[in-house]
Amino acid sequence: MLASEDESLQISAKVGGCIREALETEIAGHRAIKKDLLSAFGVMSLPEVVERDELLGERERLRVTLVELEEQLSTELAMDGVTQTRLLLEDSRTCVVRA
């Protein structure tokens, strides 16, 4: 029975070593991703990454809103321009008819 117990301990040690190695590899991968994120955002911590990401999202939403408002303003000005042009044409026709 001692041999069986020794074998069990050796197997457990090998399995434990494999699990530890796998976990260490996974941790190293997470650390590399964290380092890349911190570097990309120019910050020192993950909460700062979240904050910067939220700010970038807000900036993008504001950019889209700005483009929409610019298009709306351009359309409204064009409509006013057409209306004013029609009024000028009507006035000029009136002047020509009077002459």
Q: Using one digit for the tens of pLDDT, what is the confidence trace for 26-53? A: 999 999 999 999 999 899 999 999 999 9
CA atoms lying within 13 Å on the CB side of residue 13? 6
CA distance 60 to 54: 10
**From CA 90, how far away is CA 88, in angstroms rounded?**
5
Which pLDDT belongs to residue 1?
46
pLDDT given at position 97: 53
Q: What is the pLDDT of residue 72?
A: 86
Domain coordinates in residue numbering, the chain:
1-42
Determine the Cα–Cα distance for residues 31 and 34; give it in Å rounded to an integer. 5
Query: What pLDDT digit, counting tens, does each position of 42-90 carry?
Result: 999 999 999 999 999 999 999 999 999 888 887 877 766 767 767 766 7
Backbone angles phi, psi at 62, to 5 degrees: -65, -40
Distance CA 93, CA 97 (A): 6
